[in-house]
Amino acid sequence: MSTLFWPSQAAAHAIVVASSPQPRQIVSQSELEIELRFNSRIDRARSRLTLLGPDGAPKALALKDTGVGERLEASAKGLEKGAYRLLWQALSVDGHVTHGEIPFEVER
């Protein structure tokens, strides 16, 4: 996993500091392990990941219970060739909700 920083967002809220896939990454697998690491603890029960595929249809991803308070993890299966957007929403322990997206592409 590579580390990416988005310094323009407020430092007091949960922001993504690393992700897999990385923004604009090209992957070749039909199955993908997704991991987002935040700069602070988040409430996973009130956070979510949604995958928008090439057809634009949203698919809620089941979050893994990893026991780590700064990460969201999920698996995506059956990925077809095309452009995807991973939408994330996180509730930080300071009570603020942050959200964003990570675009990536599947090629084979």
Question: HEC string of the chain?
Answer: CCECCCCCCCCCCCCEEEEECCCCEEECCCCEEEEEEECCCECHHHCEEEEECCCCCEEEECCCCCCCCCEEEEEECCCCCEEEEEEEEEEECCCCEEEEEEEEEECC
pLDDT digits (tens, 9 = 90+) for 49-101: 999 999 999 999 999 988 879 999 999 999 999 999 999 999 998 889 999 99
Cα gap 83→53, rounded to integer Å: 7
Query: Full-prediction pTM beyond 0.75?
Result: yes
